[in-house]
């Protein structure tokens, strides 16, 4: 009369499958780091190298270089580079509700249009992609909102290679791992990076070289102006400002190559939504963009 209870094995199996699926990172990425149990194994299975920066893990596909440079504020940012593209991944704190990436796109568009760029918004695999066309250069920004974080890559290339560069940027983007942490952070603040010691030493050396270049440049400008320089005034003229200021003023920017094989450990503009300047044709070492100017020294 009451019938027999239906077996619940199938329901339990479905629940188990759902739980396992939720613990397995999706193929689209970027992923929350907590969803990947074995970070080195994740990248090994892809055939990638990687660098673990704490809040951000960057996978480096085979045949690409990983470079580290100082942004205009003197902060390190990591670039995945080829002869075709320069890809700069970054991650930001975000509110629980989605929509931060849309706001960031709006801000970038306004800034780029003020700089005279031809800006459009295209539909990509993750939604909105911002594309800015400038003389001799194409800048593309791809982003997505995650769990209290927003991930982004900025891609710079020459116009004739822009489509290929976009695919290279998407390949890096989909395999980023983000660790937001539980502490409070202002929204849109860039997640702090943990820099490996060897890379930090190279950055310190780059900052020292940049300061020396700034001193030499200031002295040359003083001499050109006919001020041979009394010892007191020369000392004031040669005094460099903060690292970010000297980089913005100096014609040379220092870049440290982290590794040609990032899997051998150790071996993003917190800031401004607009690129520092337009890229130009790639050089042989893959350091292609104008924002890393002619004075680049690989360390």
DSSP string over 11-63: HHHHHHHHHHHHHSPPSS--EEGGG-S-HHHHHHHHT-EEEE-BSEEEEE-TT
Q: What is the pLDDT of residue 227?
A: 60
Whole-Å CA distances, 63 to 66, 82, 186: 10, 8, 37
Cα gap 83→91, rounded to integer Å: 25
φ, ψ for residue 23, nearest 5 deg: -90, -10
Q: Would you call the peptide bond into 69 cis, given omega within 30 degrees of 0 as the criterion?
A: no
Burial (0-12, 13-18, 19+ Cβ within 10 Å), 217? middle
Counts of helices then strands in the chain (DSSP H, E):
7, 12
**pTM value?**
0.66
Cα gap 267→271, rounded to integer Å: 25
Cα gap 51→16, rounded to integer Å: 33
CA contacts within 13 A on the Cβ side of 273? 24
pLDDT of the chain, 299 residues: tens digit per residue: 444 443 433 433 434 443 333 333 345 899 999 999 999 999 999 999 999 999 999 999 999 999 998 887 778 899 999 999 999 999 999 998 889 999 999 999 999 999 999 999 999 999 999 999 999 999 999 999 999 999 999 999 999 999 999 999 999 999 999 999 888 899 999 999 999 998 888 888 887 888 888 899 999 988 888 764 444 444 443 443 333 333 333 333 445 444 434 433 333 333 333 333 333 333 333 333 333 323 333 33
φ, ψ for residue 202, nearest 5 deg: -65, -40
Is the Cβ–Cβ distance between 190 and 150 less than 8 Å?
A: no
Tokens of 248: 């913005």
CA nearest neighbour of 124 among 163, 94, 85? 163
Is the Cβ–Cβ distance between 74 and 207 less than 8 Å?
A: yes
Going through the chain in order, the beta strands assigned E by DSSP cover: 31-32, 49-52, 56-60, 65-70, 76-81, 86-93, 118-124, 127-134, 137-145, 149-157, 177-178, 255-259
Parallel/antiparallel/unpaired status of strands 31-32 and 177-178: parallel
Cα gap 52→151, rounded to integer Å: 15
């Amino acid at each position: 009369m009451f019938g027999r209870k239906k077996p619940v094995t199938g329901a339990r199996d479905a629940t188990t499958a759902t739980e396992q699926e939720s613990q397995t990172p999706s193929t689209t990425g970027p992923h929350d780091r907590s969803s990947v149990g074995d970070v080195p194994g994740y990248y090994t299975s892809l055939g990638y190298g990687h660098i673990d920066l704490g809040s951000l893990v960057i996978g480096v596909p085979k045949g690409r270089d990983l470079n580290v440079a100082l942004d205009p504020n003197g902060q390190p940012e990591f670039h995945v580079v080829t002869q075709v593209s320069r890809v700069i991944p970054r991650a930001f704190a975000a509110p629980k509700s989605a929509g931060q990436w849309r706001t960031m796109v709006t801000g970038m568009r306004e800034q780029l249009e003020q700089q005279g760029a031809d800006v459009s918004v295209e539909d990509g695999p993750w939604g909105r992609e911002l594309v800015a066309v400038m003389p001799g250069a194409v800048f593309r920004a791809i982003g997505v909102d995650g769990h209290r974080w927003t991930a982004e890559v900025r891609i710079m290339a020459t116009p004739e290679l822009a489509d290929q560069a976009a695919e290279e940027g998407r390949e890096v983007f989909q395999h980023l791992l983000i660790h937001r942490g539980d502490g409070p952070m202002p929204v849109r603040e860039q997640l702090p990076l943990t820099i490996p010691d060897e890379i930090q030493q190279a950055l310190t050396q780059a900052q020292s070289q940049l300061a020396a270049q700034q001193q030499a440049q200031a002295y040359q400008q003083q001499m050109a102006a006919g001020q041979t320089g009394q010892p007191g005034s020369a000392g004031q003229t040669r005094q460099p400002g903060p690292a970010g200021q000297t980089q913005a003023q100096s014609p040379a920017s220092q870049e440290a190559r982290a590794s040609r094989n990032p899997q051998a450990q150790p071996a993003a503009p917190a800031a401004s939504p607009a690129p520092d300047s337009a890229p130009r044709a790639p050089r042989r070492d893959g350091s292609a963009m104008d924002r890393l100017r002619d004075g680049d020294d690989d360390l």
